[in-house]
Structure 1
Amino acid sequence: MSTDKDRFLTIFNQISSSLLADIQSLPGLSDSLKSQLTTYYSTCLPYTVPGGKMTRGLTVIKGVEVLKSRPLTDKEYTDAAILGWQVEWLQAFFLVADDIMDGSITRRGQPCWYQRPNVTQDNAINDALILENMIYQTLRRHFKGHPSYVGILELFIDTTYRTEIGQHIDTNGTPYAEGKRAPLDLGRFTLDRYRGCVRYKTSYYSFYLSCALALAYCGYSQDSEEGKALYGKAEEVCMRLGEYFQIQDDVLDAFAPPEVLGKIGTDIEDAKCSWLVCKALELVNEDQKQILVDHYGKHEEEGVKKVKELYKELKLEELYHEYEEEQKKACDELIASIEPESFRDLFTFLLGKIYKRQK
């Protein structure tokens, strides 16, 4: 099965070249302005879009391969890779915006895009919107004549909407009054809120979208009985994988060294509704709860340290490892129920990518 990153990155370069050429063809702009725009985005695109493991994009290729049950032709590979890169573009749009909202410092081992010299926060907000728009430019260029063009567009539209709903749930874990953060309300940190956030913020775009794009490209319609069953099973597995992935992410945010994780975790300072704080609130006594009241959501190094010490005292890492094994077993059983059998390989591939990951 082809998951060659170098070949995949070649397609990124082709897509980027076309998008930069689009800027050059904009009417009514001077050559000087076009040159400035092209120079800026020729830095922005490789900085924000590729990077990391690129699992979301490669999953589309893997999905098309398992559904075709044969090696892909060059045209099929290119199409699948272009779709895969649009998932990576969507990820870039979300991350550029998310880093601004969270006040993050690093991403993938380097400064966040908005932290770069000569970018500024205002520019970065606009850049996030342009990254999103580029998805639709690329889809129109390559798939306008494809039988599944409308279905593919709808998958991106629906996934973006759902992810933004998840982001709202995430960023509104602490209420605001008259434009200012209200006093921390630990009662809002529940596993119910957490699961809703994870389903919408993570599971759909990180797992389901790639699988659904492979189905759409291969001609499976959500209106047919066979298609409904396949999309439904993909969604069921991906929601479970997404929750597992996000809980894993929360644990890594608190405990993984930044040099391994590739970013500095800020969930405690940002008062995130993380799995760790939700579980802690189920287990704490009154004295332990006071530590969270006093220090959660504050940008104080000593306070963050005390919250992490509380997590260790409550043995939350051990609880997570028990959860991880339970999820692995549940995912294996769910994957085994998928028909056709060849489609199972895609979800086994995804589970293998996240099981016991360290970053």
Structure 2
Amino acid sequence: MRSFSEIFESYQTQTDSIIFPVQPENLYGSITYFLRSPGKKIRPVLCLMSNELFKEVHADAYHVANAVELFHNFSLVHDDIMDHSVLRRGRPTLHLKYGENTAILAGDILLIHAYMQLNKINISYREQITHLFSEMACRICEGQQMDIDFEKREIETLKYTDYLRMITFKTSVLLGTAAQIGAIIGLANPQQQNNIYDFGENIGIAFQIQDDFLDAFGDVSITGKQVGSDILENKKTALLLKAFELADPLQKMELKAAMLLIGEERIHTVIGLYKNLKVDEWASTAILHYTEIAFKSLDLIDIPVYKKEKLAELANSLLVRQS
């Protein structure tokens, strides 16, 4: 089985098959700008690797990988608008560079083209894959709404388990479904499909907790994101919800007071409280926990171990982004 970098290169060489019109220039120029931003293309490559886990990569897997990547970017464009984000992958977000209205339309076009890619695959499994893809799309939109709703609720009314459900829908189902669809094209049996889905989903959970961790404790030169942006937006992250669970009554009051501060003072104060509550250590343990669950799911797939090693390497590479 090829390595992530080898499959990444093979994916990159065929992405030109996604052809967009030239006009209106601002609309399609904004899409080109967004798609050409730096990125590891984890989700489409996971789809291809899951196919290759069982059979030689089929041409249809590239169409599905394109659909996954286009959908992912659609969700990022709209997510950045809703979150008022200023940076994405170290560059100005699309809505800041081209305007919010154009960004909304660009996201819509990306979604439409995702389904156009699905329509190119073999009819023998097109309906099944399109159904799974559509279910995934609905879960992600539901997860995004949960995230929006969280921002309106008082911190005391939320639990860490609420957060887990939200990130499973918003983030993890895309990784799980990308892996499962790749396995379908590779003619995996239903149990193998379920196991590879579980692998992707749990890696996704670990990845999202790590993303929350890096927002507070990461290096902007590595992550490409403003440190403490989630804190400035009062986002209900894994770290914040766990901090409230661990805090005593006085510490809860300090956290709530810190969240009313402005700018850098809020960031520094909240991060200081996180450290006092050892939330950074908890996050590292949680990341490891979900990674181990993912690896157990991978172990259950009844194929030679050497074929699974590259997926394990991919998972490990995703979860060592702190340095």
Q: TM-score, normalised by structure 2?
A: 0.89
Residue 243 of structure 1 corresponds to which residue in structure 2? 205
- AA aligned to 1:65 is E
The 3 A distance-change label for structure 1 pair 90 and 211 is: same
Give the one of 236, 244, 261 matched to 2:223: 261
Give the one of 7, 10, 16 matched to 1:7: 10
Residue 86 of structure 1 corresponds to which residue in structure 2? 67
Write out per-residue CA displacement over residues 221-249 of structure 1, whole angstroms, 9 at most, x where no aligned residue. Answer: xxxxx42x223222333332222111111
Q: SS of the residue aligned with 1:173?
A: helix
Instruction: Could you tell me which runs of 5 or more consecutive residues in structure 2 were left unpaired when the two chains were aligned.
Output: none
> In the alignment, is the contact (CA less than 8 A) between 1:159 and 1:209 conserved in 2?
yes
Matched, 1:133 2:112: yes
Matched, 1:333 2:286: no
The 3 A distance-change label for structure 1 pair 297 and 264 is: farther
Mapping of residues 115-194 of structure 1, within 5 Å: 115-116=96-97, 119-140=98-119, 142-143=120-121, 145-175=122-152, 185-194=154-163
Higher share of residues assigned helix: 2
C-alpha distance in 2, partners of 1:36/1:281? 50
> In the alignment, is the contact (CA less than 8 A) between 1:86 and 1:135 conserved in 2?
yes
> In the alignment, is the contact (CA less than 8 A) between 1:49 and 1:88 conserved in 2?
no
Mapping of residues 1-359 of structure 1, within 5 Å: 1=2, 3-16=6-19, 19-20=20-21, 36-37=23-24, 39-50=25-36, 51-68=38-55, 70=56, 72=57, 76=58, 78-116=59-97, 119-140=98-119, 142-143=120-121, 145-175=122-152, 185-205=154-174, 207-220=175-188, 226-227=189-190, 229-265=191-227, 266-296=229-259, 300-341=263-304, 344-345=308-309, 347-358=311-322
Cα distance, 1:297 vs. partner?
6.7
Relative contact order higher in (CA < 8 Å, ≥ 6 apart): 2
Cα distance, 1:191 vs. partner?
0.8
The 3 A distance-change label for structure 1 pair 6 and 40 is: farther
> In the alignment, is the contact (CA less than 8 A) between 1:270 and 1:297 conserved in 2?
no
C-alpha distance in 2, partners of 1:6/1:216? 22
For the pair shown, the structure with the greater C-alpha radius of gyration is 1
The 3 A distance-change label for structure 1 pair 7 and 333 is: closer
Percent identity (aligned): 26
Q: How many residues align?
A: 317
- AA aligned to 1:45 is I
Q: SS of the residue aligned with 1:174?
A: helix
Write out per-residue CA displacement over residues 293-342 of structure 1, whole angstroms, 9 at most, x where no aligned residue. Answer: 12327653212221111111112222222333444444333322222346
C-alpha distance in 2, partners of 1:137/1:12? 14
